[in-house]
Amino acid sequence: MGVRITFETLFPGLIEPWTQEALVGRAVAANLVELRVNDLRRFAGNRSRRVDDAPYGGGPGMVIRVDVAAQAIDAARLAQPPADEVVLLSPAGEPLTQDLVERFAGYRHLALLCGRYEGFDARVEQLVDREVSVGDVVLMGGELAALCLAEATLRLVPGVLGDADSHRCDSFSSGLLDYPEYTRPPLYRGLRVPAVLRSGDHGRVDAWRREHALLRTQRRRPDLLPRAPLSEADRRRFAPPVGASEAQDDDQEAQDDDQD
């Protein structure tokens, strides 16, 4: 059995269908991964299964109680195998990155705590190992964020993807954005597939892909370049940031393609 991911949530029905579909469902069926979806209400401690209460100091909304979350965290840490980390999904957390999911993919057990309403009592932040955010946006709950984290992690587990090497060329795995991909038809509404990609010359194709990965990164995410594995020639050509718009990017890429 590969990595186990445990979801602690008030709405298991938001997560359970995802565990049964596509590559994730196949990985579960093949015992490559184990996914557990637990209802936080099992720790409510009352007949109504109520897990929230009004915030101290007043204000709108309801807050999930610290004792409810603490019992879920304890259960994850007492499980076999125990959770390597308990992660709280929160807009105040550290950004989710490829480096982080590569770390998670090496764990035996990862527990994800999903909030709702106005979130958890702030004391929960001191009980988890890490807080993670999927972006500068506020969702209705932590479930979708947890699914983003889980899917990014699971695709790195050996055997989950059909091609064991496919994730190594992904955006961010190489330190750069991914190069553009094309398929049939070669011409559609005046838009052409670059001739070099249809040339059959693998050396030229590899060089084109490397150059266009660098171009895309320079134009769209220049902040990645200082940490990317660049040669001296790459740095001289691509490292200086440029302030081009996406429309300018597309025009330039089209010009580059015409030259190919």
By annotation, the residues acting in catalysis are: 91, 118, 155, 170
Q: CB of 114 within 8 A of CB of 141?
A: yes
Residue type at 145 in one-letter notation = A
Q: CA–CA distance from 177 to each of 80, 149, 213 (Å)?
A: 38, 19, 6
- Longest CA–CA span in the chain (Å) reads 71
Peptide bond between residue 91 and the one before it cis (omega within 30 degrees of 0): no
Query: How many other C-beta atoms are found inside a 10 Å radius of the C-beta of residue 190?
Result: 5
Peptide bond between residue 226 and the one before it cis (omega within 30 degrees of 0): no
Q: CB of 108 within 8 A of CB of 84?
A: yes
**Integer Cα distance of 204 and 260 in angstroms:** 10
Q: CB of 210 within 8 A of CB of 217?
A: no
Query: 165 CB contacts (<8 Å, ≥6 apart)?
Result: none
Total count of residues recorded for the chain: 260
Residue 8's H or E segment, with its range, is strand 4-9
Query: 122 CB contacts (<8 Å, ≥6 apart)?
Result: none
